Amino acid sequence: MTVYLTETALVLTPMHVRFVDLCVASGFSCAYALERLGIRGHCFDPDAPSVQCRALTRLFRKMRLFQPTTVPSIRRAMQRPLLQYVGRPHPRPADVSEVEIAGVPCRRLVGPDPMCVIHGGGFIGGNWPGYAGYCAALSALTGRGVVFVEYDTDQAHATQVAQVAAVLNAMPFDVAVADSAGAHLLLCAHDDYAAAAEHTVLFSPVADPTCSSASFLANGNCYLADARDENGDPIGEALLHPTVTSTLLRSITTRVPQSVPPNTRVYASENELFADDARYLERLGATALISPPHPGGHFHAWPLWDIPEANATLRAAFL
């Protein structure tokens, strides 16, 4: 019998992608549970990272060898909505509506006096499925609604800045919240437009996308060397591969914001690549609260996750 092999195109439907994401999320959840079960020590130190936070940092470090390294592969990976399966609980679909503000697609989570949320994701990722649980946590904590800006992650940096500014100008907010690259877009919008909320809260903001700060180099080297303490907890950066991160950000923009909105509070960690970015914003007039460098402690954009450190940070920021 002769078997002829022909080249065929592999077509992944949304159902296939969802199935793959569910499998990956299940594996992630199992690995996270095993990490928590295996962690010992620090139990009676109130200043030490929680078991949940330590488990995540250890798991992130183990995954460092599997991160994509080219911009196209990074884009594909970051546009996957995996956080919808492993992040915080989502709001009820009935409480969320799709709206358009100044021509920009947004999601509105029901509640009075909505705050504006601008997502991170390295300028190319981040989406409502991944941030829905985070927005629900903000709404539950503050008793307010949320407007989530779905800026176009396939457009150039300048277009994204303009979209963020258009929403803020069209519907003035008294509170704007942003993390990571989303914080960079918000800061650039403030540089160029009249877009400014009465209060601005930034988590792990990217201020210098050239990735040339001392904290980026030092914590990045800890990541590449897989530096750990005697308990096996990561030292320095736990989540972001520095080479991958710099490759991505430098391919998008090298712009450094020159000002901060009034009443800006910045939350970052000494462990992060972007710790010095928070210090730079402090020199521009922001109030910066930087968590100390505990091994296995706060990782990049930790408030997105349902862990004790995240909830304590959200309470400090909004209550």
Q: Which residue has the tokens 């730079």?
A: 280
Angle at the Cα of 146 (from 173 to 249), degrees rounded to 5?
A: 85
In Å, how far are 52, 118, 160, 174 from 298, measured between CA atoms? Answer: 11, 21, 28, 28
Q: Which residue has the higher pLDDT, 31 or 167?
A: 167
pTM: 0.92
Collapse the DSSP code of 202 into the 3-class scheme (helix H, G, I; strand E, B; otherwise coil) and give the result.
strand
Collapse the DSSP code of 301 into the 3-class scheme (helix H, G, I; strand E, B; otherwise coil) and give the result.
coil
Residue 314 backbone class (left: φ over 0; alpha: ψ -120 to 50; beta: rest):
alpha
The residues that bridge with 109 in the sheet, in sequence order, are 96, 146
- The chain-wide mean pLDDT, for the chain, equals 90
Q: What is the mean pLDDT of residues 114-132?
A: 94
Query: Domains of the chain, with CATH numbers?
Result: 14-319 (3.40.50.1820)
Instruction: Give residue 5's pLDDT.
Output: 36
Instruction: Give residue 9's pLDDT.
Output: 46
Instruction: Give residue 221's pLDDT.
Output: 97
Token digits for 182? Answer: 């989303």
Q: Which residue has the higher pLDDT, 39 or 97?
A: 97
Instruction: Give residue 44's pLDDT.
Output: 55
Token digits for 169? Answer: 């100008």
Give 65-101 pLDDT, tens digit per residue: 888 888 888 888 877 766 677 778 899 999 999 999 9
Instruction: Give residue 86's pLDDT.
Output: 75
Give 184-239 pLDDT, tens digit per residue: 999 999 999 988 899 999 999 999 999 999 999 999 999 999 999 999 999 999 99
Sheet strands (E) in 102-192: 104-109, 115-118, 146-149, 175-179
DSSP state for residue 228 in the 8-state scheme: B
